[in-house]
Amino acid sequence: MYGDNRELTHYIGIYEDITQNKLAQQRIERLAYTDNLTNLGNRPAFIRNLDERFARDSDTPISLLLVDIDNFKRINDSLGHQTGDKLLISLARRLRNSLSTSGSLARFASNEFAVLLDDTDLESGQQVASQLLTTLDKPMFVDNQLISVTGSVGLACAPLHGRDPQTLMRNAGLALHKAKANGKHQVQVFTEALNAEASYKLFVENNLRRALTQNELDVFYQPKLCLRSGRLLGMEALLRWNHPEKGMIRPDQFISVAEETGLIIPIGKWIARQACRMSKQLSANGMGNLQVAINLSPKQFSDPDLVASIATILKEEQLPANLLELELTEGLLLEATEDTRLQLDQLKSFGLTLAMDDFGTGYSSLSYLKKFPIDIIKIDRSFIHEIPDNQDDMEITSAVIAMAHNLKLKVVAEGIETAEQLAFLRRHRCDVGQGYLFDRPIPGAELLEKLKRYPRGPIA
Ligand code: G
Ligand code: G
Ligand code: MN
């Protein structure tokens, strides 16, 4: 304030106590950056940390670990969310204790944790990652119950696998995804191949939906013959994708994406209809009754509509049910729920034939051949391939045929390429054969002509 002569006389000061403001700010900050279950930092806190770390120093190596607790949903479902929460708190404490002070730990999502290790190269990062897995392996007491969990870890290091926070995070995520896809309970390190895999998957995802509506999908058919008489029994329908730029894409290149995206369900219905129509059309052209087989992915059994839709297709295409065969994977039976069994029983009661595909490559359990209404097993082509050079494969093949016959099952051998293989299979009384020796998978348009050269007769 100034006096009459413009001289400075005094100051006025104003003060306000902003303690409460500051405390509130801190509280907001804490809430925004803390996971309130475990009191660890949350995802935004971790990202902020990572950003700061890269801004400060982009040369010293760091390791980023994404840790996922395997099958956590099952724990929640069986023990309840409260126990699940307590378990997560214990796990967080365990992870915290097993890390040296230099590591920062955060909880990202329900069962996903992240660890940032400063000044840690790939080799040391891998060591810490395996230690974490071992730490998680030890059973723990929660709510008076001993609970065992396992974890999966994806690891990416800077600057080796990424020179900025986004790249590093994405690559650690791809590595984690790989660890889970490979069967969980393991550490996977990021590699460039994972990137290629991810972009291929994205390509398939983006194009497959269109494929279905734009008629890019096609069905090829491979004949199946009675090995005793040589007559034609039917054919297996095999999916093909004729991409406008990439050309013909084989199903093993896109079925897994179709399964992940759920597109396998409409695609499966589509091919079932095509196959039934084809059998009907062949019969209308004087080919008699030919049984057509389609491959079903386990994922299709999660569709509550599966049985009804197959019934509808058979009815609309007017195909007798005994002319449709379903090729199932072992995985389906291994993980079968009560629902799966019910679906299989219903399909079987319509009169469909059920075949176990790729037999011998997985668990090859005999018990589920008895437990489920299976009629046929298909010996995987990897066993046929080395006949007559591989003694083991020949013994396995003949044993499988004998065993199947004892269980009153018919046997199909696929992948028959040579006359020796055919002779061996006939000698061991294999019932049905399929393979390049007879025919490769044939485009639908050429099928009728090609099939005309086989001897035919009524199906016994
Ligand atoms: O015909 P090809 O050898 O490319 O087939 C490769 C694999 O793709 C085979 O194991 C076969 O079982 C699978 N496959 C072919 N068509 C279908 C289909 O329509 N549905 C499913 N789920 N799998 C198929
Ligand atoms: O797994 P699945 O039974 O569905 O596999 C059938 C596949 O096997 C078809 O996609 C077909 O292309 C392939 N195939 C059929 N016959 C032969 C054969 O003689 N040799 C080889 N290598 N593959 C075959
Ligand atoms: Mn098959």
Q: Which amino acid is at 359?
A: F
Backbone angles phi, psi at 355, to 5 degrees: -120, 145
Given this model, what pLDDT does residue 281 score?
97
Q: Do 55 and 77 sit in the same domain of this protein?
A: yes
∠ Cα 35 89 25 (to 5°): 25
Round to whole Å and give the CA distance between 380 and 377: 9
Confirm if 288 and 458 have CB atoms less than 8 A apart: yes
Given this model, what pLDDT does residue 366 score?
77
Residue nearest to atom 12 of ligand 2 (CA): 441
Nearest to 158 by CA among 68, 56, 67: 56
Given this model, what pLDDT does residue 29 score?
86
Asked if residue 13 is part of any domain, the answer here is: no
Asked if residue 11 is part of any domain, the answer here is: no
Given this model, what pLDDT does residue 457 score?
59
Confidence of residue 455 (pLDDT cuts 50, 70, 90): confident
Given this model, what pLDDT does residue 135 score?
93
Q: Do 173 and 214 sit in the same domain of this protein?
A: no
From the alpha carbon of 358, which atom of ligand 1 is closest? 10
Confidence of residue 367 (pLDDT cuts 50, 70, 90): confident
> What residue numbers bound the domain in which 83 lies?
19-190
Residue nearest to atom 14 of ligand 2 (CA): 415
Three-state SS for 6-58 is: CCECCCCCCCCCCHHHHHHHHHHHHHHHECCCCCCECHHHHHHHHHHHHHHCC
Cα 237 to middle of ligand 1, angstroms: 8
With a 6 A CB cut-off, is 393 part of the ligand 2 pocket?
no
Given this model, what pLDDT does residue 201 score?
87
Cα 376 to middle of ligand 3, angstroms: 12
Q: pLDDT (tens digit, 9 = 90+) per residue, 344-362?
A: 999 999 999 999 999 988 7
User: Distance from CA of residue 220 to its chain's centroid?
Assistant: 25
Which of residues 190, 217, 232 is at a domain's end? 190
355 three-state secondary structure? strand
Only one residue has tokens 């009384």, namely 429
From the alpha carbon of 220, which atom of ligand 1 is closest? 1
Q: What percent of the chain has pLDDT over 90?
A: 84
Here the CATH number for the domain that contains residue 224 is 3.20.20.450
Confidence of residue 123 (pLDDT cuts 50, 70, 90): very high
Confidence of residue 110 (pLDDT cuts 50, 70, 90): confident
Confirm if 367 and 336 have CB atoms less than 8 A apart: no
Q: Do 259 and 179 sit in the same domain of this protein?
A: no
Round to whole Å and give the CA distance between 186 and 62: 20
Nearest to 188 by CA among 212, 161, 209: 161
Q: pLDDT (tens digit, 9 = 90+) per residue, 212-261?
A: 899 999 999 999 999 999 999 999 999 999 999 989 999 999 999 999 88
- Burial group, residue 102, by CB count within 10 angstroms (0-12, 13-18, 19+): exposed
Given this model, what pLDDT does residue 459 score?
47
Nearest to 172 by CA among 195, 141, 149, 202: 195
Confirm if 332 and 298 have CB atoms less than 8 A apart: yes
Cβ count near 19 (within 10 Å): 8
With a 6 A CB cut-off, is 360 part of the ligand 2 pocket?
no
Q: Do 57 and 102 sit in the same domain of this protein?
A: yes
Which residue blocks in 351-386 are alpha helix, DSSP H?
Answer: 367-371, 381-385
Q: What is the mean pLDDT of residues 3-11?
A: 93
Q: pLDDT (tens digit, 9 = 90+) per residue, 394-443?
A: 999 999 999 999 999 999 999 999 999 999 999 999 999 999 999 999 99
Ligand (nearest to CA of 387)? 2
Report the number of distinct structural domains present in the chain. Answer: 2
Q: Which amino acid is at 91?
A: L
Confidence of residue 458 (pLDDT cuts 50, 70, 90): low
Q: pLDDT (tens digit, 9 = 90+) per residue, 270-292?
A: 999 999 999 999 999 999 999 99
Nearest to 229 by CA among 433, 405, 403: 433
Asked if residue 444 is part of any domain, the answer here is: yes
Asked if residue 245 is part of any domain, the answer here is: yes
Asked if residue 390 is part of any domain, the answer here is: yes
Given this model, what pLDDT does residue 429 score?
97
Q: What is the mean pLDDT of residues 379-383?
A: 94
* Residue 245 tokens, joined: 């730029």
* Residue 136 tokens, joined: 């998680």
With a 6 A CB cut-off, is 297 part of the ligand 2 pocket?
no
Round to whole Å and give the CA distance between 436 and 451: 14
Q: Between these two residues, 54 and 364, which has the higher pLDDT value?
A: 54
Q: pLDDT (tens digit, 9 = 90+) per residue, 169-183?
A: 999 999 999 999 999
Q: Do 392 and 361 sit in the same domain of this protein?
A: yes
Nearest to 408 by CA among 382, 373, 443, 441: 373
Asked if residue 8 is part of any domain, the answer here is: no
Given this model, what pLDDT does residue 103 score?
82
Q: Do 255 and 317 sit in the same domain of this protein?
A: yes
Q: What is the mean pLDDT of residues 7-21?
A: 93
Here the CATH number for the domain that contains residue 175 is 3.30.70.270
Only one residue has tokens 């494969």, namely 393
With a 6 A CB cut-off, is 239 part of the ligand 1 pocket?
yes
∠ Cα 271 277 281 (to 5°): 145
Q: Do 270 and 130 sit in the same domain of this protein?
A: no
∠ Cα 338 342 344 (to 5°): 115
Q: Do 139 and 219 sit in the same domain of this protein?
A: no
Confirm if 374 and 409 have CB atoms less than 8 A apart: yes
Confirm if 190 and 154 have CB atoms less than 8 A apart: yes
Q: What is the mean pLDDT of residues 92-109?
A: 88
* Residue 29 tokens, joined: 């900050």
Q: Do 244 and 279 sit in the same domain of this protein?
A: yes
Pick from 219, 220, 222 the residue to mutate for probing ligand 2's pocket: most ligand atoms within 8 Å of its CB: 222
- Burial group, residue 74, by CB count within 10 angstroms (0-12, 13-18, 19+): exposed
Please provide the average confidence, as pLDDT, over all residues in the chain.
93
Asked if residue 12 is part of any domain, the answer here is: no
Q: List all residues 6 or more positions away from 345 whose beta carbon is below 8 Å from its beta carbon.
A: 373
Q: Do 218 and 148 sit in the same domain of this protein?
A: no
Confidence of residue 460 (pLDDT cuts 50, 70, 90): very low
Residue 106 has pLDDT above 60, yes or no: yes
Q: Do 282 and 349 sit in the same domain of this protein?
A: yes
Round to whole Å and give the CA distance between 11 and 29: 36
Round to whole Å and give the CA distance between 117 and 172: 13
Asked if residue 428 is part of any domain, the answer here is: yes
Q: Do 164 and 312 sit in the same domain of this protein?
A: no
